[in-house]
Structure 1
Amino acid sequence: MKITKIITHHLSHSLEHPFESASMRFLSREHLLVEIHCDNGLVGWGECLGNRLVNDALIKSMTPHLIGENALDIEPIWLKLYNVFRDQGQRGATINAISGIDIALWDLAGKYHQCPTYQLLGGAFRKKIPVYATGGFRMVGEDRIDSLLKEVSEYKTQGFNAVKIKIGFGVALDIESIKAVRNCLGSDIELMIDANHGYDAIDAARVANAVSDCNILWFEEPVTPESLSSYHRLRQTQPIPLAGGETWHTRWGINEALKQQTVDILQPDVCGVGGLSEARKILTLCDIHGVRCVPHVWGTGVALAAALHFHAVIPPNPPSYGNTPDSPRFEYDQTHNPFRQSIIRQPLTLNEGYLTVPSGHGLGIEIVREELSRYAPNS
C-alpha cells in the first residue's frame, strides 16, 4: 500500500464575536487537515494542532520523504520524519506536522485491516467517553463577569456536569470570576481553570490559594510550558492539582517534564504530541511517573475522532476489575466553530454527557468535501 499523494486542506472562518485566552486573541477559526492517498485507492485523514500555514509548509517539505513509502510502516515513517527534521525543532510545528501525517496513517491502517483504529492501538477499554465543556474565554468588548456567568449558566442548563473556564486576565479579576462561576454552578458540577500560561509562579499561587475553597478539579497551564521549575514549585506552594502538556511534545519532551515532577495531570494532544503513535508511548510514561492522562482536544471532527480513539485505549489506573473502567473526561470545545462537525458525514454528537468512539474502519469518519471547499480561505 504505497503512498502516492498528500494533500493539505486549509479551513478558516472569521468570527463575528472574537474571544481571548490569556495568550492569544481568536479572530477566526483556523485548522489544517492532511489527506493521504495510496495506490490501492484508500485515503486517510489527519489533523495538525497549531498554525495552519506553518504546518502546511512543513508537510509540503516532508512529502518527498513519504511518496512511495508503505503506508502501513507507521513507526518507520514517524522516525524517518523525526530524524530528517529534528534539526528544525524537536517540538512545536515540526511535531504538529508529523502528528497530522501519523493520524492519517493510522486511519489508513484501520481501513486496510477493516477495523477501528483503536483496535490496532491495542483495543478499547471503553467506547463511551464522558465529556466536559471547554469555554469561558474572555469575549472581546463584553463585561467579563456578566458574559462568563451567562455562558456557564447555559452549560448547566444543557446538562454538563463538568466545565472548564479560562483565566489569566489578572489576579483580582480571575479570583472574582472563579468564585462567581462556582456559585453559579453550585457544588455538584466539576470546575477546572486554565490560565493558558498567563502567570508566573508567584501570581499563579496567589490565584490558586485564594480559590482553594472552590473545589477546583485542576489548574491548567498556570505558567509558560518552558518553565518546568515553576511548575514544580507551584505543586509545593498551592493545593490545586496541576495540569499541563498540550504544548509539550514527543516522549522525550514529556519525559523530561514528568521527571521534574511538574504536573499531576498530563494533557497530550494527539494532533500535536506526535500523533497516535507517540501518544500511545506517552501512556507508558504516565504509568511510570504516576500521573493521570486527560488529553487536550482542540480542532475539527477529525481531531475529535482521533482523540476519541486515544481515549478508548487509555488504561484504567489502578485497574477496576468487575466494573466499567473509569475514563478521563473528554475536552468538548464549546466555542463557535461552524465547520467542526459539518466536515464529517455523521457528526459526533453528545448523548447524556458521553461521546461514543466511532466504530467504523480507521477513525470511523467520512469527510464531506463540499464543506472543505466552503470553508477554504478566500472561497
Structure 2
Amino acid sequence: MKITKIETFICHAYRTNWVFVKVLTDMGIHGVGEATLEMRELTVVAAVNELNRYLVGKDPHDIEAFWHDNYRDSYWRGGVVLMSALAAVDMALWDIKGKDMGVPVYQLLGGKVREKVPCYANGWFAPAKTPAEFAAKAKEAVSKGFKGLKWDPFGSAYMNISRQEFSGAMECVEAVVATVGSEVEIMIEGHGRFNIPTAIRIGRALEKFDITWFEEPIPPDNMEGLAEVRRQIKVPIAAGERLYTRWDFRNFLKLECADFIQPDVSHAGGISEIRKIAAMAECYHIPLCPHNPSGPVANAATLHIAASTPNFYLLETMMSDVPYRNDISTESICLDEGLMSINNKPGLGIDINEEVIKQYPYQPRNLRHYNGQLTDIRPENASDYFIK
C-alpha cells in the first residue's frame, strides 16, 4: 500500500475553523486527521500540504518513520504549526492502519484499560455574563449529566486584576458552586492570563471552593514561574495545552509545574506523541487530562488515547456545538451521565463529509479572551451533538 495524496479541508465552526486532513492510498483506504489551529488555520493547511512531497509513495503503515523523519527534516524543530500538521497526518495514518487491519486504533495501542471515558463540560456557559447567568447555565449542564464544569470567570483581565474584576470572578465561582453542589468537579480556567503575584492571589482565594484545578494561571512561556505558583498555592494546577513535544513536557515534568497535564492531540504531534508524553507523565504519577475543544476527528482520536492510556483521568468535552457538527462527519457520540462511549469501529471510527464541509467555508476569527467577548463561544442555535 502506498500513499497517493494528502487533502485538506477547512470548515467554519463559529469560534474557530476546523481543519481536517485526508490521506489517500492506492488501495482505496483513506484516513482522516484534524489539525485545527485557532486563528492560524490557513498557516497550518500550508504546512500540511508541504508534507505531500515527503509522503506520496510511502507506506502509510510506517507511522514512526513518518513522524521521526519529518520532525527531523523540518530542521526548525517544534512549534505549534509543524506539530499540528504532523498531528493531523499521524491521526490519519493510524486511521488507515486500523482500517487495513480491521481493528479500532485503541487495539493497536495495546487495547482498552477502560470501557467508558469520564468527561467534563466546557462551553456550557455561553453566553453568560453575570454570576446568576453562569449559575443558571451550570444547572442546565448538570441536568444533562455532566459531573464536571470548567470556565474562565475573569472577563477581559490581563496580567493584573482590579478589585472589581476580582470580586466579580469570585462571586461567579461562588454562585456556580452553590448551585451545583459538592458532587460536581469545578475547574477554573486562567487561559494563561495572569502574572505570578496575581495568579498566586487568585489561587489562594480559590482554595475555599475545593476546586479540582486552576488551569494555566500564567502564560505558558515561563515553566519556572508556573512551578513557583504551584508551590505558593494549595489548589491543584493543570496546564500543558500550549506545549507541543515530549521534550517540552520533559522539562515541564522535571520542574513539577502541574498536577495534571493537558496536551492536545491536534497540536502536540498526534496520537504517537501524546502516547509518549502520557508515558513520561506516568513515571511522575501525573494524570493525563487532554485539551479537547476542537472538532469531531480530534475528539475521536483523543477517545482512543483515553481508552488505552492507564494514567488518563478526565476528558474535556464541549457541551454543545454548531448545529451542523453531525452533518460534516459520521461522528456518533454517546454521552451518558458524564461518560463517553468509545467507538469500536475500525480505525478512528469516523469519516468526514466533504460536500457538507464545503457549505461552511473558512471565516477568519480573532482571539476573544481579552476583549470582553470571552463567553461568545457558541452561536445562538448551538445544539447538543451527542446521543444518550
Report the TM-score when normalising by structure 2.
Answer: 0.86
- How far did 1:136 drift? 5.6
1:361 alignment partner, one of 331, 341, 346: 346
Deviations 1:43-64 (A, max 9, x none): 1000013131111011112211
Q: Residue 71 of structure 1 aligns to which amino acid in structure 2? A: P
CA contact (8 A) 1:165 1:194 kept: yes
SS of the residue aligned with 1:132?
Answer: strand
Rounded Cα–Cα distance in structure 2 between residues aligned with 1:300 and 1:343? 10
Q: Within 5 Å, which residues of 2 pair with 1:26-45?
A: 28-45=15-32
Q: Which runs of 4+ in 1 moved over 6 A?
A: none
Provide the residue aligned with 2:382 in structure 1.
none
Matched, 1:285 2:272: no
Of the three residues 241, 261, 264, the one matched with 2:259 is 264
Aligned to 1:63: 52
Deviations 1:131-190 (A, max 9, x none): 111126674xx6332432222121122221211111333433222211111111111111
Residue of structure 2 in register with 1:25 after alignment:
none
The aligned counterpart of 1:82 is: 71
1:251 matches 2:263? no
CA distance in 2, matches of 1:159, 1:362: 29
CA contact (8 A) 2:145 2:336 kept: no
Partner of 1:302: 297
Cross-structure match for 2:2:
2
The runs of 5 or more residues in structure 2 that have no matched partner are: 156-164, 364-388
Conserved 8 A contact 1:301-1:347: no
| Greater displacement, 72-81 / 163-172 | 163-172
Task: Provide closer, same or farther for how the CA distance between residues 49 and 370 of structure 1 changes in structure 2, counting only shifts above 3 A.
Answer: closer
Separation of aligned partners in 1, 2:72 and 2:135: 48
**The residue matched to 2:290 in structure 1 has which SS?**
coil
Higher fraction of strand: 1
Looking at structure 2, the residues matched to 328 and 163 of structure 1 have their Cα atoms a distance apart, in angstroms, of: 15
Aligned match of 2:119 = 131
Q: Is the 8 A contact 1:29 1:337 kept in 2?
A: no
Aligned-pair CA distance for 1:352: 2.9
- Could you tell me which runs of 5 or more consecutive residues in structure 1 were left unpaired when the two chains were aligned: 15-27, 317-326
Decide which of 103, 110, 135 is 2:98's aligned counterpart.
110
Could you tell which deviates more after superposition, 287-296 or 357-366? 287-296
Match 1:341 to one of 314, 326, 329: 326
1:21 paired residue number: none
Counterparts of 2:36 and 2:313, CA distance in 1: 21
* Structure 1 segment 47-196 matched on structure 2, within 5 A: 47-50=34-37, 51-87=40-76, 89-135=77-123, 139=127, 143-169=129-155, 170-196=165-191
Q: CA deviation at 1:346?
A: 4.5
**TM-score, structure 1 normalization:** 0.88
**Count of matched residue positions in the alignment of Structure 1 and Structure 2:** 352
The change in CA–CA distance for 1:86 and 1:122 in structure 2 (over 3 A counts) is farther
- Matches for 1:12-27 after TM superposition, within 5 Å: 12-14=12-14
How many angstroms apart in 1 are the aligned matches of 2:327 and 2:221? 36
- Are the aligned partners of 1:12 and 1:375 in contact in 2 as well (CA < 8 Å)? yes
Equivalence map 1:205-244=2 (5 Å): 205-244=200-239
CA contact under 8 A between 2:288 and 2:314: conserved in structure 1?
A: no
